[in-house]
């Protein structure tokens, strides 16, 4: 059932700025892939592998965004403005504490990690260069996700959108400059792509801090040092989401390793396919983040039925919108793939997987919205269990068997991935309908 006009307007009032920012992220990821694609399939595969390894390295700080947003939304629903930004203070401190050892660890293992993930020496070497440039960005991502959680939690998602847009424009300019030696910058190739992204992340951190310092101090930003209890509470809430992000990122990295065993051409195609999938699903992630705030605020008011209805309403809208957005890729896959893949046999390899992904995107939209609504309710443990189980116990072992072992190739691996995403959406939908999340106290 389609939501009422009033509820639809409220959903879009919160979600549209987030969606706009996330679409900007996806478009500029496509731009980066377009830039690197000009360097050849090895460079494209290297950046793809390095990107998902960087996601893996930063995953343990990404859950802070969900924890901060869920807690801030509850405080807003409870109606005490002086406490709105208090969870943000804890998030920033935890980001620094967690990121510091992670950066040191991944600096040390960069080269052997890439050699482990790729059997192609050229891909492993270039991936290590890119990954090393991305490692300092772990700190910036932890800070940025905490800031994002605050602004989304108080329904100021426009701050998030404009900061994200500036960040990604900076990323495109800096990455292009460092890849090709433009704008007076040194020509660094694949390493330059990673360096541009890292610098852009820190630009966003600086912008977030300035905006919070100017606008959020009356709401408790930097009012006092977070207590041990506050840090512990936020950590316990964020940790399952961080573990879920870690295993998801590790699963993507494992997927790249599995596809790399099939061949380097397949690896470059998978990087483009996943980039397209992110382009398709990011709007639904934006709607899910908006839903997380609406659910958290409703629970803060004590209205559990309203919280449940927000989850249903946003899910319906996300499925409709994402299905409509994906249709051009069903009918014009070669044109889309040809923007990044410049050899005909690579386009043919990616054609059907891209069409299937576009047709399947409605299921992805439902799963992503429900995942974020559960996180907004504080039920990060359920999300962790469902996503890790389906990815690591079902999809990855099956993908390895049908791909490298049995030799059925990229298509079979991609079909299994679609099946796994369907199971995730089904499991999250079941948990939402059970309403056990409505009894979680934050």
Instruction: Give residues with Cβ within 8 angstroms of 263, minimum separation 6.
Output: none
Q: Is the pTM of this model over 0.85?
A: no
Look at residue 225 and give its three-state secondary structure: coil
Does the CA dihedral 250-361-310-6 come out positive or negative? Answer: positive
Instruction: Give me the DSSP letters along 287-320.
Output: HHHHHHHHHHHHHHHT-HHHHHHHHHHHHHHHHH
Average pLDDT of the residues of the chain = 87
Q: Any idea which of 80-94, 145-159, 268-282 has the lowest mean pLDDT?
A: 268-282
Can you give the pLDDT at residue 115?
Answer: 87
Q: What angle do CA 326, 327, 329 make, to 5 degrees?
A: 75
pLDDT digits (tens, 9 = 90+) for 304-313: 999 999 999 9
pLDDT category at 30 given cuts 50, 70, 90 is low
- How many CB atoms are closer than 10 A to CB 312? 18
Q: Which two tokens stand for residue 147?
A: 């800031």
Whether pLDDT at 422 is above 90: yes
pLDDT category at 7 given cuts 50, 70, 90 is confident
Count each helix (H run) and each strand (E run) in the chain, helices first: 16, 0
Mean pLDDT of 57-65: 86
pLDDT digits (tens, 9 = 90+) for 78-126: 888 888 999 999 999 999 999 999 999 999 999 998 888 777 888 888 8
């Amino acid at each position: 059932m389609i939501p009422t006009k009033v509820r639809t307007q409220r959903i879009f009032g919160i979600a549209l700025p987030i969606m706009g920012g996330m679409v900007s992220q996806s478009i500029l990821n496509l731009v980066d892939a377009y830039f690197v694609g000009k360097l050849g399939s090895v460079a494209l595969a290297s950046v793809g592998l390095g990107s998902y390894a960087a996601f893996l390295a930063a995953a343990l700080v990404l859950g802070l965004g969900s924890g901060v947003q869920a807690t801030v939304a509850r405080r807003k629903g409870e109606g005490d403005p002086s406490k709105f930004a208090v969870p943000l203070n804890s998030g920033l401190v935890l980001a620094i504490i967690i990121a510091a050892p992670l950066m040191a660890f991944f600096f040390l293992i960069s080269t052997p990690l890439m050699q482990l993930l790729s059997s192609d020496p050229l891909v492993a070497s270039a991936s290590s260069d890119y990954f090393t440039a991305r490692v300092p960005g772990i700190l910036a991502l932890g800070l940025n996700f905490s800031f994002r959680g605050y602004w989304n939690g108080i329904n100021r998602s426009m701050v998030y959108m404009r900061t994200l847009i500036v960040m990604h424009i900076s990323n495109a300019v800096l990455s292009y400059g460092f890849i090709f030696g433009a704008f007076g910058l040194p020509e660094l190739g694949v390493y330059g792509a990673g360096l541009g992204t890292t610098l852009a992340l820190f630009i966003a951190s600086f912008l977030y801090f300035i905006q919070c310092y100017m606008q959020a101090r009356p709401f408790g930003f930097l009012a006092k040092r977070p207590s041990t209890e506050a840090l512990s509470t936020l950590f316990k809430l964020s940790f399952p989401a961080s573990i879920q992000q870690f295993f998801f990122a590790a699963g993507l990295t494992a997927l790249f390793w599995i596809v790399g065993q099939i061949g380097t051409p397949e690896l470059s195609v998978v990087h483009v396919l996943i980039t397209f999938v992110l382009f398709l699903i990011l709007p639904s992630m934006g709607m899910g983040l908006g839903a997380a705030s609406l659910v958290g605020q409703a629970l803060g008011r004590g209205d559990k039925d309203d919280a449940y209805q927000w989850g249903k309403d946003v899910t319906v809208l996300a499925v409709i919108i994402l299905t409509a957005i994906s249709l051009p890729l069903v009918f014009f896959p070669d044109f889309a793939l040809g923007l990044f893949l410049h050899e005909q046999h690579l386009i043919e390899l990616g054609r059907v997987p891209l069409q299937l992904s576009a047709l399947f995107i409605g299921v992805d939209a439902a799963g992503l919205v429900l995942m974020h609504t559960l996180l907004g309710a504080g039920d990060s443990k359920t999300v962790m269990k469902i996503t890790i189980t389906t990815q690591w116990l079902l999809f990855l072992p099956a993908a390895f068997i049908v791909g490298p072992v049995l030799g059925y190739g990229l298509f079979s691996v991609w079909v299994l991935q679609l099946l796994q995403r369907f199971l995730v959406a089904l499991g999250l939908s079941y948990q939402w309908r059970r309403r056990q999340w409505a009894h979680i106290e934050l």
